[in-house]
Structure 1
Amino acid sequence: MKAKKWLATAVALTMAGSLVVGCSTTTGDPGKDGKKKEVVISTNEPGEIPSIDPALAKDSQSSWVIDHVMEGLYFQDKDGLKPGQAKEHKVSADGITYTFTLKDGLKWSNGDAVTAHDFEFAWKRVLDPATASEYAYIIADYIKGGKEYNSADAKKEGEAGMKKLRDAVGVKALDDKTLEVQLAAPTPFFLQLVSYYTYYPVPKKVVESNAKWAAEANTYVSNGPFKVVEWAKDKRLVAAKNENYWSKDTITADKIIWNNLSDDNTAWQMYQNGELNMFRAVPPAATEQALKTGEMKPTPQLATYFYRFNVTKPPFNNVKVRKAFAMAIDRKAIIDNVTKAGQKPAYAFVSPGIKAPDGKDFREAGGNAFFKEDANEAKKLLEEGLKELGMSSMPKITLTYNTNEGHKKIAEAIQEMWKKNLGVEVELQNAEWKVYLDKVHKLDYQVARAGWIGDYLDPITFIDMFVTKGDNNETGWSNPKYDELVVASKKEQDQKKRDQMLHDAEKILMDEMPIMPIYFYTHNNAYKPELQGYYQPANREPVFRYATIK
């Protein structure tokens, strides 16, 4: 997920207490008066939530909220993929045409009926170039006619031309309850795709009448298990149980509060005080304590922590310089001494956890290391790279990260390693979340922190990030052979051949090193013992639909 990048912003301790609804006394059990008390989950979001519009969201803080207030045809349940808004689906013999039938009685939070027309409208809205959705590719690459429409020049095509392209996109509501989808090529993981938030429907009537419908709580309309009832920007977002949800009787949580807290130490103190009953991404300073109490239990996550290089400007336009920086750090030391949450060193990009049909893990089958750590070789490569650039010495460089204590500590450790092993002076630069996202997207950096959570359980969710001019590339890197392999892999039906294409593409990525993998993530959230019933898919944030408080 784009910028399934991580963590976040800053707020004063005196302010933070006023932003949080205390939850230490909430319970799912009957009170003395016999009435069930509210089940309220209060947690932290590292900074302001950029957008809860499924077409425009591009980061994990936004998608965490969207996954609770919206729902697609399928959703990630506690024991796997389950039908959401869909009642059933059929697939043609050639694997090209999917026909989805919606459940009876589906409603938006405002009481309007959810229809197949809402899905058609939503997907084509994502693809519309005017929407400027950074995640449009996740639909465009798979739906017939999607790429042509999404990449069209509206000025050149004109209104009639754009309408023709839009009408040619392979998604059509046959009636209120039937959605027909034609794929560009058979896609075995398509149900995984439709469970992703970019494929969620939006209320056609509402969006057409108010372009800013997703900007405020009182205009936001949703179809998920929860609905937005309050949104104080840069403070908190509150969602309450949606009485119009088709499976409302299975939803045990009454309210979820995402508090925008940039300072990890402040947020952790609030968690300890009982003002939060769930803490997302325990900061390194608190990891040992959280592990001892048993409130944090690290589990593997389909995600990779890495640094991007801006390859458009010296000195990182030289591959030897990039490789030198990647080889000159000690990943295990970072994990053992800084993150301390059982992460695994990363010498490749695709995270473990994606199984091929034969049961083999993609990471294991492709080898676990494309490069090695070697300070002496790194120093030699740096000298050679600088010579090729006509530079006599390495200038001071800037490492950018989004404001967060954990990212800061990792950056400080790497800063010291680069100084010791390469003799390079590194200036650390932090930026608030939205500013950071903008800087990285505009290539206004030299080296920048990043993180990526796989959107679905297929290697392409990692590999297609770095196609030429891809919205999630954000390095300036381009390789025609890499692009060719990515395109071919999306059409190849022989899984063995397809996996080899993706392994070959990853090797090109690691050989040219526009990014520097550091470690594979673990989920390192903390939960108060009384909070139960939550679950966490490998590629999602915690889900609270069945949460209770004992």
Structure 2
Amino acid sequence: MKALIVTPRKVLALFLLLSLVACGGDGANRVEEGDRLGVLHIGNAAEPAALDPHITTGVSESHIINALFEGLVIKNPATLEPEPAVAERWEVSEDGRTYTFHLREDALWSNGEPLTAEDFRWSWMRALMPELGSQYNYMFFSIVNAQEFAEGRLDDFSQVGVEVLGPHTLQVRLREATPYFLQLLDHHSTYPVNRGSVEALGSASDRLSRWARVGNLVGNGPFTLVEWRTNSHIRVEKNPLYWDAETTQLNAIVFYAIDNQATEERMFRDGQLHHTYDVPLDKVPVYLAENPELIRIEPYLGTYFYGINTSRPGLDDARVRRALALSVDRELLAETVTQGIYRPGYSVVPPDTMGYNPPQLFEYDPDEARRLLAEAGYPNGAGFPSFSILYNTLEQHQKIAVAIQQMWSQELGISVQLVNQEWQVYLDSQNTRNFDMVRRGWIGDYVDPNNFLDLFISGGGNNHTGFSNARYDEIILEQAPATLDRDERYALFHEAERLLMAEMPLIPLYVYQSKHLVRPSLKGMPSNIMDFYNWKYVYLEPQTSQP
């Protein structure tokens, strides 16, 4: 009999698992109890890095932030069209450059203070402060002088196109008519934050402030933050001061930090979760065959790719980067590693995004890859410096990295190391460009090709590659926003993609599909390509028996 080896890591993992189960109350069936009490239990991947809407970038953080805060508009979960939220109505000028928002007079902060137009003006100024270093500051760049302020070329925020016309009236002036501007205002980077609570615990630009913690956070969304147990769970409860509290049906939501998909799936089977963040790839065919009513697989507006630090030796040559891209067999990767769930990806923009289909500018071609590598001075990989692929801890990411590691070894003779890090450490490494190559994924913040292409503007907060191209910037920041004809605009995006793929600072791998395990009692979460939920519409309908 093989000896059982107990390591400190295993002890810690066991402790965390037991604490997760205990959260439901002595290991009771959380789903049945939650159905009775109106408490949703949901898997939410890794421990959140933060809950400050102006500095977070992860999907798991956004799920919680969307429960705690609300912007001027919000997406309809069925159509994804912008609907009134804090702004009950708005007018748009004939030239499409000026938006005047009228805020609800009954909108309050969770501490009872009135929510005003000045709260938005101050919050947007904070989000654009160079000292804060928001990675999403470019979401505001369609506003007059917002980019200049964010880049430190303008100190006076009064010159930015955001003006308070009255306690509940906010006017925004754009550089050019921007077709997707209202969609931007549903993104968490544009949410208001409570100035008093922020400044009570530090400066507005302090990224390490504890204002967004239990007991300090003042929000304006349908729920309030009541508990945060690190590496276990976050609990939010219904906010009675929310302007539309009558619509909110859940009494509480518990978000569980579970970065092990097998653990999450087991908790679902044991009646501890209503909804999982993901599903282990090897479990997908099992559920499809045995319990198809419990699994939901949907198209997802997202791409999975590897970002390349273009300053690293060897990887600083575009021929090498292209060789790496050409030597990945995406069809094989999708079929074997992802169980056919994901589609092969050849671009940063997912196909059929608002009718936009990206050009396929390369394909699997190992012979051409070897030729390019030899041309760059590394015939059959000879003399090429070893580099590493960084990914956040998740079994799925590991399997993909191992497959690509083998492909590059077999096809190119290149040695690749694999490095995994926990979510927060991984984010720090990514943000400081402390990597050779990094696992990345991008889920659309709004339904427009621009949301994927603006990742790679020079100096952009989410451009961690070092890629910089003046013509690319001109297209994304100036020409495309000013082009109202869709065909002309999409032609510009095609040009931008050609510029991007000529330099290959990223290696597209596949197009996402979302996959979740969902209890029959969970309602009010219609399917959409952004996997977006409006928590105030979600509810639980007790079942006579759970599968």
Mapped contact 2:381–2:414 kept (Cα < 8 A):
no
Mapped contact 1:41–1:256 kept (Cα < 8 A):
yes
Match in the other structure for 1:108: 109
Mapped contact 1:341–1:522 kept (Cα < 8 A):
no
Give secondary structure in 2 for the equivalent of 1:538: coil
Aligned equivalents of 1:542, 1:409: Cα separation in 2: 29
Match in the other structure for 2:545: none
Aligned equivalents of 1:476, 1:397: Cα separation in 2: 17
Match in the other structure for 1:31: none
Q: CA deviation at 1:51?
A: 1.3
Q: Cα–Cα, structure 1 residues 341 and 547, in superposed 2: closer, same or farther, change >3 Å?
A: farther
Aligned equivalents of 2:118, 2:309: Cα separation in 1: 42
Instruction: Render the CA deviation track for 1:218-261: whole Å, top value 9, x for unaligned.
Output: 11111111111111223211111111111112212221111112
Mapped contact 1:143–1:170 kept (Cα < 8 A):
yes
Is structure 2 residue 119 aligned with structure 1 residue 138? no
Q: CA deviation at 1:276?
A: 1.4
Q: CA deviation at 1:24?
A: 2.2
Aligned equivalents of 2:371, 2:466: Cα separation in 1: 25
Is structure 2 residue 446 aligned with structure 1 residue 445? no
Is structure 2 residue 506 aligned with structure 1 residue 515? yes
Match in the other structure for 1:531: 522
Is structure 2 residue 14 aligned with structure 1 residue 16? no
Match in the other structure for 2:541: 549
Match in the other structure for 2:4: none
Aligned equivalents of 2:98, 2:498: Cα separation in 1: 33
5 Å-filtered alignment, 1:345-364, equals 345-355=344-354, 361-363=355-357
5 Å-filtered alignment, 1:64-75, equals 64-75=63-74
Mapped contact 1:122–1:200 kept (Cα < 8 A):
yes
Is structure 2 residue 85 aligned with structure 1 residue 84? yes
Q: CA deviation at 1:101?
A: 0.5
Instruction: Render the CA deviation track for 1:64-96: whole Å, top value 9, x for unaligned.
Output: 111111111111122332111111000111211
Q: Cα–Cα, structure 1 residues 27 and 429, in superposed 2: closer, same or farther, change >3 Å?
A: closer
Give secondary structure in 1 for the equivalent of 2:31: coil
2:184 to 170, 189, 193: 193
Aligned equivalents of 2:107, 2:314: Cα separation in 1: 56
Match in the other structure for 1:150: 150
Q: Cα–Cα, structure 1 residues 341 and 17, in superposed 2: closer, same or farther, change >3 Å?
A: farther
Match in the other structure for 2:286: 289
1:255 to 252, 256, 272: 252
Q: Percent of counterpart pairs with the same letter?
A: 34
Instruction: Render the CA deviation track for 1:452-480: whole Å, top value 9, x for unaligned.
Output: 01111111111111111212110112222
Mapped contact 1:302–1:352 kept (Cα < 8 A):
no
Match in the other structure for 2:206: none
Give secondary structure in 2 for the equivalent of 1:26: helix
Aligned equivalents of 2:522, 2:71: Cα separation in 1: 27
Match in the other structure for 2:405: 415
Match in the other structure for 1:299: 298
Match in the other structure for 1:371: 362
Q: Which amino acid aligns with 2:114?
A: A
Aligned equivalents of 1:547, 1:340: Cα separation in 2: 32
Is structure 2 residue 472 aligned with structure 1 residue 482? yes
Aligned equivalents of 1:183, 1:334: Cα separation in 2: 43
Show structure 1 runs of 5+ residues with no match.
1-8, 29-36, 154-160, 356-360
Match in the other structure for 1:231: 228
Moved more, 407-416 or 199-208: 199-208
Match in the other structure for 1:175: 166
2:32 to 21, 25, 29: 25
Aligned equivalents of 1:285, 1:396: Cα separation in 2: 31
Give secondary structure in 2 for the equivalent of 1:248: coil
Aligned equivalents of 2:105, 2:40: Cα separation in 1: 30
Moved more, 12-21 or 397-406: 12-21
Mapped contact 2:34–2:41 kept (Cα < 8 A):
no
5 Å-filtered alignment, 1:397-436, equals 397-436=387-426
Aligned equivalents of 2:533, 2:279: Cα separation in 1: 14
Mapped contact 2:381–2:413 kept (Cα < 8 A):
no
Mapped contact 1:117–1:204 kept (Cα < 8 A):
no
Q: Which amino acid aligns with 1:338?
A: V
Q: CA deviation at 1:39?
A: 1.7
Instruction: Render the CA deviation track for 1:358-379: whole Å, top value 9, x for unaligned.
Output: xxx101xx43x21010122222
Mapped contact 1:116–1:176 kept (Cα < 8 A):
yes
Aligned equivalents of 2:393, 2:443: Cα separation in 1: 19
Q: CA deviation at 1:26?
A: 2.6
Match in the other structure for 2:195: 204
Instruction: Render the CA deviation track for 1:33-52: whole Å, top value 9, x for unaligned.
Output: xxxx3122212222220111
Q: Cα–Cα, structure 1 residues 439 and 111, in superposed 2: closer, same or farther, change >3 Å?
A: same
Q: CA deviation at 1:341?
A: 5.5
Aligned equivalents of 1:330, 1:84: Cα separation in 2: 45
Q: CA deviation at 1:286?
A: 2.0
Match in the other structure for 1:270: 267
1:505 to 496, 502, 509: 496
Q: CA deviation at 1:213?
A: 5.2
Instruction: Count matched residues.
Output: 515
Is structure 2 residue 395 aligned with structure 1 residue 395? no
Q: CA deviation at 1:386?
A: 2.7
Instruction: Render the CA deviation track for 1:178-207: whole Å, top value 9, x for unaligned.
Output: 111111211121110111111111122322
Match in the other structure for 2:57: 58
Mapped contact 2:78–2:527 kept (Cα < 8 A):
no
Aligned equivalents of 1:339, 1:13: Cα separation in 2: 28
Q: CA deviation at 1:19?
A: 2.7
> RMSD of the alignment, in Å?
2.1
Give secondary structure in 1 for the equivalent of 2:296: coil
Q: CA deviation at 1:496?
A: 2.5
Mapped contact 1:370–1:510 kept (Cα < 8 A):
yes
- The TM-score with structure 1 as length reference comes to 0.89
Mapped contact 2:373–2:381 kept (Cα < 8 A):
no
Q: Which amino acid aligns with 1:348?
A: S
Match in the other structure for 1:385: 376
Aligned equivalents of 1:352, 1:239: Cα separation in 2: 36
